[in-house]
């Protein structure tokens, strides 16, 4: 179809960034951007959106969509590939139940009205692999976050308390990987796993490096803020998946109490459900979500995402290798472990969340508690795909947050252990449609620092979803089935001014951009050149010359220059 001038007429618009609350208005598109009516000239395609909800394309700020982990997961779950979602025509065959193939990832996002997704954890040394897969995902814009929390050079500069060298390393690594920011996974814990251990607190020392998780997190935040990157440190906390870990999560969030950034948060804590457990064992595990929500609501420099499990098939895959090993022992499930030289590790385990399983039911309830109790301007909807389940369940999660009646129905089908271990049954709060749109559009875009995403203001990207839902007439509290169905299947998904979905069906394949951050003007790498040469000469299995990704290798790179 190609990029065209569009006039979206009489839609009911929700755009929280620009303060538009279910207002009837027109949207104009030219050259892939949202413009004023006066800028439109020539042929214009008119889309009648009368009595329809018009919002920005969804932004998934935390998912695992590309790289060695998801490929390993596909290998160990061949049964996933028996499920064909779309056969080849003018588009490509797409397959998978949870671990979707690359075409399916882009198609299924578009068929849900989402237009942007970020790969949340990539080993720097594996960045070329990650970008090759990102480049094979159609439609959506994307980016990837390289991991830093167990990199030997990070430990070295943490021990030395050398912020200038840490800043130089971060800027150099992001440029080399064509990454977007600083991801930290179980800092120090994955390194200890190489010797059969894990960290048990923020002050548990990492052998041979004389550093602790507390120091690693603090130094990475200090360096990231010094670089003024668009996105803050993106943290997967220590002690993930351990009963009682909610206290460690709160203690971790306290580490940034002295940091302030006028433009954004200074710490984003991800998939917090997995770090919100009370109790001393799986026999008495419960919810610490209310305490975490209270802390986040009072903090002015922290955001979180839910990590909501949904009942059914999922696959646990994280850079938190010791957690995955513990899960393997608990479930007796098949397991893959990866040790990535000098930088990180990972583990992958297939699993199924069962509503009658007490632990799974508590996890499901905790995710919803976080979404309901945390201020809507501080919590993003996520499943930590595929760890909590498929991202295609976002409309289900949105409907659950908006309807206590729907939650009551679901609770009745789940383990009764929810009643004593969580507060969910007594929570009457309901998010509004406006709030859930904010939690899936404007908020994740703001947290990531994407100025042109998540809104429908002039100058924004023409990433637009139109749903067969009249927010002025539908009550999400009682008509939750109508809401979930409508949000699952947009009438139109428009990506960069091009119609890619019509009446729930894909009509064409387009290619989105890959964002990456260039902060090299903020540092001098001269201070780390000797260390880099030493590490690549003596410890890495590849030469420094062959490390990283060139911009010319990417299908559609979009460089964002800092400073």
Tell me the CATH number for domain 6-56+458-506: 2.30.40.10
Cα 407–Cα 330–Cα 308 angle in degrees, nearest 5:
25
Task: Check residue 212 and report its DSSP letter.
Answer: -
Residue 563's pLDDT is: 84
> Tokens for 347?
């583990």
Residue 2's pLDDT is: 62
> Tokens for 354?
């069962």
- For 311-375, the three-class secondary structure string (H helix, E strand, C coil) is CEEEEEEECCHHHHHHHHHHHCCCCEEEEECCCEEEEEEEEEECCCCHHHHHHHHHHHHHHHHCC
CB atoms within 10 A of CB 511: 17
Residue 252, H or E segment: helix 246-253
Kindly provide the residue ranges of all beta strands, DSSP E only, lying in 260-320, ordered along the sequence. 267-269, 277-278, 286-287, 302-305, 312-318
The pLDDT tens digits along the chain (563 residues) read 567 899 999 999 999 999 999 999 999 999 999 999 999 988 999 999 999 999 999 999 999 999 988 888 888 888 888 888 887 787 888 999 999 999 999 999 999 999 999 999 999 999 999 999 999 999 999 999 999 999 999 999 999 999 999 999 999 999 999 999 999 999 999 999 988 899 999 999 999 999 999 999 999 999 999 999 999 999 999 999 999 999 999 999 999 999 999 999 999 999 999 999 999 999 999 999 999 999 999 999 999 999 999 999 999 898 888 888 888 888 888 888 888 889 998 889 999 999 999 999 999 999 999 999 999 999 999 999 999 999 999 999 999 999 999 999 999 999 999 999 999 999 999 999 999 999 999 999 999 999 999 999 999 999 999 999 999 999 999 999 999 999 999 999 999 999 999 999 999 999 999 999 999 999 999 999 999 999 999 999 999 999 999 999 999 999 999 98
CA distance 510 to 496: 9
CA distance 102 to 142: 13
For 119, counting Cβ atoms within 10 Å of its Cβ (0-12 exposed, 13-18 middle, 19+ buried), the class is: buried
Q: Where in the chain is the domain with CATH 3.20.20?
A: 59-448
CA distance 184 to 145: 9
Nearest CA to 216 among 200, 233, 229, 232?
233
CB atoms within 10 A of CB 164: 14
- Mark 305-339 as b/e (b = at least 16 C-beta within 10 Å): bbbbbbbebbbbbbbbbbbbbbbbeeeeeebbbbe
Q: Where in the chain is the domain with CATH 2.30.40.10?
A: 6-56+458-506
Residue 73's pLDDT is: 85
> Tokens for 460?
């924004």
Q: Helix (H) and strand (E) counts for the chain?
A: 18, 26
This prediction's pTM: 0.97
> Tokens for 560?
């964002």
Is the Cα torsion angle 455, 456, 457, 460 positive or negative in sign? positive
Rounded to the nearest angstrom, the gap between the alpha carbon of residue 532 and the centroid of all alpha carbons in its chain is 30
Residue 319's pLDDT is: 87
Nearest CA to 309 among 257, 368, 266?
368
Residue 77's pLDDT is: 87
Residue 321's pLDDT is: 85
CA distance 232 to 303: 10
Structurally, what CATH architecture does the domain formed by 59-448 represent? Answer: Alpha-Beta Barrel (3.20)
Residue partners of 332: CB distance under 8 A and separation at least 6: none
Nearest CA to 114 among 473, 543, 441, 442?
441
Q: Which residue has the tokens 């290998």?
A: 75
CA distance 78 to 370: 34
């Amino acid at each position: 179809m190609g990029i065209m001038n569009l006039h979206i007429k009489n839609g009911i618009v929700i755009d929280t960034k620009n303060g538009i609350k279910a207002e009837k208005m027109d949207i104009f598109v030219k050259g892939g951007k949202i413009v004023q009516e006066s800028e439109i000239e020539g042929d214009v395609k008119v889309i009648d959106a009368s009595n329809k909800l018009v919002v920005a394309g969804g932004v998934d700020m935390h998912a695992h969509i590309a790289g060695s982990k998801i490929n390993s997961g596909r290998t160990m779950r061949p049964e996933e590939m028996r499920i064909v979602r779309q056969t080849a025509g003018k588009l490509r065959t797409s397959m998978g139940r949870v671990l979707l193939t690359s075409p399916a990832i882009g198609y299924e996002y578009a068929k849900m009205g989402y237009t942007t997704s970020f790969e949340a954890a990539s080993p720097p040394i594996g960045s070329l692999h990650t970008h090759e897969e990102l480049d094979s995902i159609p439609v959506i814009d994307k980016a990837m976050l390289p991991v830093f929390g167990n990199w030997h050079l990070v430990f070295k500069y943490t021990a030395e308390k050398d912020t200038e060298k840490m800043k130089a390393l971060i800027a150099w690594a992001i440029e080399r990987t064509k990454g977007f920011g600083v991801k930290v996974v179980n800092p120090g814990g994955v390194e200890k796993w190489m010797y059969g251990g894990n960290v048990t607190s923020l002050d548990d020392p990492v052998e041979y490096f004389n550093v602790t998780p507390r120091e690693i997190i603090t130094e990475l935040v200090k360096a990231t803020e010094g670089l003024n990157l668009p996105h803050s440190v993106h943290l997967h906390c220590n002690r993930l998946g351990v009963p009682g870990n909610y206290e460690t999560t709160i203690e971790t969030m306290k580490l940034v109490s002295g940091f302030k950034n006028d433009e954004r948060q200074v710490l984003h804590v991800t998939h917090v459900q997995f770090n919100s457990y009370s109790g001393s064992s799986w026999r008495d595990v419960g919810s610490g979500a209310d305490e975490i929500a209270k802390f986040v609501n009072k903090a002015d420099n922290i955001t979180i995402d839910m990590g909501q499990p949904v009942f059914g098939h999922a696959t646990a895959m994280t850079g938190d290798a010791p957690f995955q090993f513990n899960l393997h022992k608990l479930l007796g499930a098949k397991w893959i472990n990866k040790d990535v030289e000098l930088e990180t590790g990972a583990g992958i385990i297939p699993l199924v969340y069962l509503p009658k399983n007490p632990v799974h039911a508590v996890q499901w309830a905790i995710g919803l508690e976080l979404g309901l109790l945390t201020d809507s301007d501080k919590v993003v909807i996520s499943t930590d795909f595929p760890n909590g389940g498929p991202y295609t369940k976002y409309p289900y999660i949105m409907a659950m947050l908006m309807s206590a009646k729907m939650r009551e129905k679901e609770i009745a089908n789940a383990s009764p252990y929810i009643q004593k271990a969580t507060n969910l049954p007594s929570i009457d709060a309901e998010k509004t449609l406006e709030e859930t749109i904010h939690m899936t559009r404007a908020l994740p875009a703001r947290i990531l620092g994407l100025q042109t995403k998540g809104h429908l203001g002039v100058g924004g990207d023409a990433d637009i979803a139109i749903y067969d839902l009249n927010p002025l007439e539908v009550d999400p509290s009682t008509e939750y089935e109508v809401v979930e169905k409508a949000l699952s299947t947009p009438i139109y998904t428009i990506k960069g001014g091009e119609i890619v979905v019509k009446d729930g069906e894909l009509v064409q394949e387009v290619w989105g951009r890959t964002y990456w951050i260039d902060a090299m003007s903020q540092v001098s790498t001269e201070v780390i050149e000797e260390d880099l040469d030493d590490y690549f000469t003596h410890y890495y299995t590849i030469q420094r010359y062959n490390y990283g990704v060139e911009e010319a290798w990417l299908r559609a790179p979009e460089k964002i220059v800092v400073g």
